């Protein structure tokens, strides 16, 4: 029996060990996944998936082209994560070889994207639809600013006055008659200075223009379109216009390839209408671009630029020269206006110097007398004072022979009353006692001793004088 028990114990241990390892193997199989991609590719896809909606909603959003689920950045991210044919084949082979094991997150995401028919064409068509409005604004707004700026400069009186005055100053300084000057010289006007006061030519130009044309403005506040056009490269606008035209043509091809798989759907009809509208708009933009550039070339000829340099002149460079010059003109004009105001105020001070005190101190006597009488009539006690003062006046007039008018008497009486009222108010009701010092009795004793000592001397001297 003991032997049998001993033989049975190892069987129990074997069964326990077998069960333990079987459960452990099942846990390992659960954590295993089918990974086909290299670590870098898999890591990049997993990072990109964090910025995208869940994979189960991506396919429906792409088929419907729903911008509420995937935005423009999401479409760009998907364009970089498109699976290649080789990756798709590897994932499908690994899935068929191990049907029990799940696919990795990156592999499952690429397999979901591969299940969408014509995915690159759908994404490009969708991105063109989202980008077209912004691209159209980027092309149309600078062209509109350039066209408006040209019309403003042609009709602006201040700009014409500045160019005409600058031409006259140049003819006078150079001593030669010329028909015009290069527009690039506007950038050098603030740098040219006179030899006496070291003021710039722009400073003198502002003085002359303001003197001869009082209705002139600062020019910079009127050419905002030129300032905006100076920040745009019109060469890039032409390239963008041709690129949009090519993308529109490619979008028609993408729509045709998508319609082969999907057939006639509501999305196809909407996209076909959208692309037809875009094609018409692009044709109009091309015509507008050509006409605006022709107007710019005519404007260059109007400014006096030679014909062989017109094609080489860039719109943004010309607009930048005019905009920077107008900004310098505005700042210099404001400085000149401040100097003129200071000189005018200084002249006014010189005219009134020494006269302001006497002119300010002039007061109408009649108005002052009436005000004083009104103030004095409010108090009935004034009548008694006036009656008493009138008696004194008559007595003084009889003795001294001096006659005074009634108006002067009333003014004097009012002044006397105000003085007596103020002095009466200031008088103290109680007399303050004089403070005596502590040693006051000592000083008095000293004075008494001195007087006693001096008395006999004075008496003796007095007796001597009498005897003599």
User: What gap in Å lies between CA 171 and CA 177, rounded to an integer?
Assistant: 6
The answer to whether the beta carbons of residues 212 and 341 sit under 8 Å apart is no
**58 C-beta neighbours (distance < 10 Å), count:** 20
**pLDDT, tens digit only, all 468 positions of the chain:** 333 433 344 454 445 545 544 444 444 344 477 788 888 988 989 898 888 888 888 888 888 888 888 888 889 999 988 888 888 888 888 888 888 888 888 888 888 888 888 889 999 999 999 999 999 999 999 999 999 999 999 999 999 999 999 999 988 888 888 888 889 999 999 888 888 888 889 999 999 999 999 999 999 999 999 999 999 999 999 999 999 999 999 999 999 988 888 777 788 889 999 999 999 999 999 999 999 999 999 999 999 899 899 989 999 999 999 999 999 999 999 999 999 898 888 888 877 766 555 554 444 556 666 776 776 666 555 454 445 455 555 554 444 444 455 556 666 777 667 766 655 544 454 455 555 555 555 555 444 555 455 444 444 444 444 443
Question: What is the pTM assigned to this prediction?
Answer: 0.64
User: What gap in Å lies between CA 259 and CA 118, rounded to an integer?
Assistant: 10
* Whole-number Cα distances in Å, 9 to 3, 16, 19, 39, 318: 10, 11, 16, 49, 102
**Residue recorded with tokens 């995208």:** 52
**Residue recorded with tokens 């004194």:** 392
**Residue recorded with tokens 């006597």:** 365
CATH numbers and ranges of domains, the chain:
22-116 (1.20.58.630), 133-311 (1.20.58.2220)
How far is C-alpha 27 from the chain's CA centre? 65
């Amino acid at each position: 029996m003991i032997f049998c028990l001993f033989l049975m114990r190892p069987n129990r241990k074997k069964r326990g060990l077998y069960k333990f390892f079987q459960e452990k193997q099942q846990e390992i199989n659960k954590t295993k996944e089918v990974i086909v991609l290299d670590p870098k590719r898999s890591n990049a896809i997993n990072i990109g998936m964090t910025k995208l909606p869940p994979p189960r909603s991506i396919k429906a959003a792409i088929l419907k082209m729903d911008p509420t689920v995937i935005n423009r950045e999401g479409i760009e991210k998907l364009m970089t994560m498109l699976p290649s044919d080789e990756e798709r084949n590897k994932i499908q082979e690994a899935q068929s070889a191990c049907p029990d094991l799940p696919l990795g997150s990156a592999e499952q995401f690429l397999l979901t994207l591969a299940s969408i028919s014509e995915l690159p064409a759908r994404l490009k068509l969708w991105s063109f639809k989202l980008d077209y409005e912004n691209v159209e604004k980027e092309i149309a707004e600078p062209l509109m600013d350039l066209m408006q700026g040209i019309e403003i400069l042609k009709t602006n009186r201040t700009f014409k006055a500045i160019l005409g005055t600058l031409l006259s100053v140049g003819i006078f300084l150079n001593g030669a008659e010329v028909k015009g000057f290069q527009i690039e010289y506007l950038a050098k006007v603030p740098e040219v200075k006179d030899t006496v006061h070291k003021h710039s030519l722009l400073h003198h130009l502002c003085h002359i223009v303001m003197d001869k044309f009082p209705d002139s403005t600062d020019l910079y506040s009127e050419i905002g379109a030129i300032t905006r056009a100076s920040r745009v490269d019109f060469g890039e606008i032409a390239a963008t216009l041709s690129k949009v035209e090519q993308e529109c043509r490619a979008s028609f091809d993408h729509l045709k390839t998508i319609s082969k798989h999907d057939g006639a759907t509501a999305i196809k009809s909407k996209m076909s209408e959208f692309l037809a509208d875009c094609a018409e708009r692009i044709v109009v933009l091309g015509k507008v671009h050509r006409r605006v550039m022709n107007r710019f070339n005519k404007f260059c000829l109007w400014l006096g630029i030679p014909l062989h340099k017109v094609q080489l002149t860039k719109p943004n460079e010309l607009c930048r020269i005019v905009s920077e010059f107008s900004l310098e003109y505005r700042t210099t004009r404001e400085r000149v206006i401040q100097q003129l105001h200071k000189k005018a105020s200084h002249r006014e001070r010189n005219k009134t110097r020494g006269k302001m005190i006497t002119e300010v101190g002039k007061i109408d006597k009649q108005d002052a007398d009436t005000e004083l009488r009104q103030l004095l009539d409010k108090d009935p006690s004034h009548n008694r004072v006036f009656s008493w003062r009138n008696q004194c006046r008559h007595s003084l007039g009889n003795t001294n022979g001096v006659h005074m008018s009634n108006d002067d008497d009333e003014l004097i009486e009012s002044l006397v009353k105000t003085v007596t009222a103020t002095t009466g108010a200031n008088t103290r009701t109680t007399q303050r006692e004089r403070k005596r010092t502590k040693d006051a009795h000592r000083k008095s004793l000293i004075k008494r001793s001195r007087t006693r000592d001096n008395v006999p001397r004075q008496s003796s001297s007095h007796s001597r004088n009498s005897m003599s």
